[in-house]
A and B are shown apart, each in its own frame.
Chain A
Amino acid sequence: MKNLSVFLIACLFSLGLCISGLVAPRKVLAFLDLLGAWDPSLIFTMGGGLVVAAVSYFATRNRAASLLGEPMQIPSNSTIDARLIGGSLLFGAGWGLAGVCPGPAIVNLGFLSGPAAVFVVAMMIGMALYELSNRVAAARRSITVDA
């Protein structure tokens, strides 16, 4: 039940990415091209998504468990640190370079796109590299503490 709900929700999300145009690099790059022939369409996607998501968030924020009985897992961290800023700056550069972010990249895999496969493999390598650097940093910290 829990996984079926996740699957159907992801299908809905996937269709949203397709219909909005977020799945098309041309559309995203035209949205990010502020000083060229600017296509502001995706502002409506962000606006529509934000309003619907905000209503649901504020309606559910006092719940202890989800409707399917799972714990509500909402981030509570509120510190703006160098990791958040640096990571987001890098992410934006990659987004602007190809015009795809993680969701649309995976949706494009479903369209059997070769370039999307290259992008997703590189993205997984990037994620694994971060995971690795994080573990190395944690290991270093524990060595310093032990010493």
Chain B
Amino acid sequence: MLTIDWTNFTPLPALLGGVLIGGAAAALLLLNGRILGVSGIVGGLLAPRDGDTSWRLWFIAGLVVPPLLLGLTGVTDGPRFYGSLWIIALAGLLVGFGSRMGSGCTSGHGICGMARLSKRSIAATCCFMLTGFATVYLMRHVF
């Protein structure tokens, strides 16, 4: 039943990227005492507390600068998106609302929370993987 797309299979870059992602999560915990969860870091800007804003902005700047440099130096234009802008906007709304309601996203629950064997994060990751699979199934094979 399962068909693997071997032509696009890239285990080594995927693993290397994963090690960098895990290394970043480890470094933020060790150096700054914080969990690397992007939805939490960004969402915290919308309920600001004194002295708790600048590090969040620095984090966002750190996400944006490497792709900006990669783009300007012509290394890569970056990936393209699929679907109409309406679908993309709906997806953004669901991702924003859902990640705040569920207290985390792929980074906070999927990497950091699962790594510390948090029951909540394991449950959350199962849930978002489930609807992720289901949504792609419906979009690609039903509609």
| A-to-B contact residues, CB < 8 Å | 2-27, 29-30, 32-58, 60-61, 65-68, 70-75, 77-80, 83-103, 105-113, 115-116, 118-131
Report yes or no: A12 in contact with B5, Cβ–Cβ below 8 A: no
Could you count the A-B residue pairs with CB atoms below 8 Å apart for me: how many are there?
Answer: 494
Report yes or no: A72 in contact with B33, Cβ–Cβ below 8 A: yes
Report yes or no: B120 in contact with A77, Cβ–Cβ below 8 A: yes
List of B residues within 8 angstroms of A61 by Cβ:
116
Specify which of B35, B77, B97 is in contact with A75 (CB 8 Å cutoff): B35
Report yes or no: B30 in contact with A60, Cβ–Cβ below 8 A: yes
> Known interface pairs A74-B116, A92-B128, A110-B64. Does A53 touch B22 (Cβ–Cβ under 8 Å)?
yes
List of A residues within 8 angstroms of B105 by Cβ:
91, 101-103
| B-to-A contact residues, CB < 8 Å | 1-5, 8-36, 38-39, 42-43, 46-47, 54-55, 58-68, 70-71, 76-83, 85, 87-107, 109-120, 123-125, 127-137, 139-141
Report yes or no: B5 in contact with A39, Cβ–Cβ below 8 A: yes
List of A residues within 8 angstroms of B109 by Cβ:
88
> Known interface pairs A93-B135, A106-B60. Does A12 touch B23 (Cβ–Cβ under 8 Å)?
yes
Specify which of B29, B39, B77, B110 is in contact with A60 (CB 8 Å cutoff): B29
Report yes or no: B58 in contact with A7, Cβ–Cβ below 8 A: yes
List of B residues within 8 angstroms of A11 by Cβ:
62-63, 65-66
Report yes or no: A118 in contact with B87, Cβ–Cβ below 8 A: no
> Known interface pairs A9-B62, A49-B18, A119-B88. Does A67 touch B95 (Cβ–Cβ under 8 Å)?
no
